């Protein structure tokens, strides 16, 4: 299967449980969810006119919405050709769960990588059983609640973006029916806003949840 890839780069995982872990990011193109504060809006549209050759998405700036089709095998070959050292591969987007990720994650595992998916929970999560799934729930979206519930139940980590108390209340509603045994819940302030960060910290202390700050943005790295 071919995946539409916006960019591939090696950096440090900046968010969530794996913060600080060297990681190869595979950012897939396409997302219909439309979060107003999304920091990767260039990945929303999958336009034929923006299709490019595979070498133009490997370790180059992905800030425009161009994309290339690559198979799992071609991705691993690109990691090796570029001399990437990281063994943790983060599949993000865009919305990666628009695509069946079983083949990609299974192949990466067979090649000695561990995998993590960053998803909004608006499409069914289809991936290898060993993949670490981070769900950053988006409410009132097209997929509807039954899809979100599948994603939340599959999640290893629920990483909720917050700016106001309304976002915490939404999360409480979402988690009401979910068995949280073995799952990590974290709050991620939206766009480094001081008030969002303050609210997230206060709520994490009160609930014994984890704080996820986008450390790569403070470091000004990819
Ligand atoms: C760009 S999204 C891509 C993956 C997937 N579509 C999703 O929403 O999880 C990756 C992560 O960044 C978060 N995110 C996006 N824009 C953000 C912002 N401005 N501030 C904080 N987190 C943000 C999302 O909630 C998600 O956890
Ligand atoms: N360093 C770094 N860490 C990240 N964690 C999640 C990211 C994402 O865009 O999904 C991201 C990203 O874009 N860069
Ligand atoms: S679901 Fe993810 S990629 Fe899509 S708009 Fe929201 S934050 Fe951006
Ligand atoms: Mg990002």
- Ligand 3 neighbour 35 (Cβ under 6 A): yes
Give the chain as a 3 state SS string: CEEEEEEEEEEECCCCCCCCCEEEEEEECCCCCCCCCCCCHHHCCCCHHHECCHHHCECCCCCCCCEEEEEHHHHHHHHHHCCCCCCEEEEECCCHHHCCCHHHHHHHHHCCCEEEEEECCCCCCCCCCCCEEEECCCCCCCCCHHHHHHHHHHCCEEEEEECCHHHHHHHHHHHCCCCCCCCEEEEEEHHHCHHHHHHHHHHHHHHCCEECCCHHHHHCCC
Ligand nearest to the CA of 9: 2
- Ligand 1 neighbour 190 (Cβ under 6 A): yes
The pLDDT of residue 64: 83
220 inside domain:
no
199 inside domain:
no
Ligand nearest to the CA of 25: 2
Model confidence pLDDT, tens digit, residues 151-189: 999 999 999 999 999 999 999 999 999 999 999 999 999
How far does the centroid of ligand 2 lie from the alpha carbon of residue 89, in Å?
11
Determine the atom of ligand 1 nearest the C-alpha atom of 192.
20
197 inside domain:
no
Backbone φ and ψ of 146, nearest 5°:
-65, -35
The pLDDT of residue 115: 99
The pLDDT of residue 144: 64
Residue whose CA is at the smallest distance from ligand 1 atom 10 = 118
Supply the CATH number for residue 98's domain.
Answer: 3.20.20.70
Model confidence pLDDT, tens digit, residues 132-146: 999 999 976 655 678
The pLDDT of residue 140: 65
**Annotated binding-site residue? 38:** yes
Residue whose CA is at the smallest distance from ligand 2 atom 14 = 222
How far does the centroid of ligand 2 lie from the alpha carbon of residue 138, in Å?
17
pTM of the model: 0.97
181 inside domain:
no
191 inside domain:
no
**Annotated binding-site residue? 127:** no
Domain total for the chain?
Answer: 1
190 inside domain:
no
Which range of residues forms the domain containing residue 105? 2-159
**Annotated binding-site residue? 12:** yes
The pLDDT of residue 141: 60
Spell out the residues 6+ positions from residue 50 whose beta carbon is closer than 8 angstroms to its own.
64, 65, 66, 67
**ipTM above 0.90 for this complex:** yes
Determine the atom of ligand 2 nearest the C-alpha atom of 93.
10
Indicate the top mutation candidate among 142, 161, 171, 214 to test ligand 1's pocket, ranked by most ligand atoms within 8 A of CB: 161
Determine the atom of ligand 2 nearest the C-alpha atom of 13.
3
Residues of the chain with pLDDT under 50: none
194 inside domain:
no
- Ligand 3 neighbour 120 (Cβ under 6 A): yes
104 inside domain:
yes
Indicate the top mutation candidate among 25, 97, 159 to test ligand 2's pocket, ranked by most ligand atoms within 8 A of CB: 25
């Amino acid at each position: 299967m071919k995946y539409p890839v916006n960019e591939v780069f090696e950096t440090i995982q900046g968010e969530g449980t794996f913060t600080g872990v060297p990681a190869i990011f595979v950012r897939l193109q396409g997302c219909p969810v439309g979060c107003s504060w999304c920091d990767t809006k260039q990945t929303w549209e999958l336009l034929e006119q923006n299709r490019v050759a595979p070498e133009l998405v490997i370790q180059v700036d992905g800030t425009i919405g161009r994309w290339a089709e690559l198979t799992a095998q071609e991705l691993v070959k690109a990691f090796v050709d570029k001399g990437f050292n990281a063994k943790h591969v983060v599949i993000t987007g865009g919305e990666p769960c628009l695509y069946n990720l079983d083949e990609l994650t299974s192949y990466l595992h067979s090649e000695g990588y561990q995998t993590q998916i960053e998803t909004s929970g608006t499409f069914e999560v289809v991936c290898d059983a060993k993949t670490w799934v981070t769900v950053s729930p988006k409410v009132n979206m097209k997929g509807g609640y039954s899809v979100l519930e599948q994603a939340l139940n599959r999640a290893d980590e629920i990483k909720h973006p917050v700016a106001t108390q309304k976002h915490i209340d939404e999360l409480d509603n979402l988690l009401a029916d979910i068995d949280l045994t073995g799952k990590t819940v974290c709050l991620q302030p939206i766009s480094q806003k001081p008030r969002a960060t303050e609210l997230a910290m206060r709520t994490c202390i009160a609930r014994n949840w984890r704080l996820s700050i986008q450390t790569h943005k403070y470091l000004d790295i990819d």
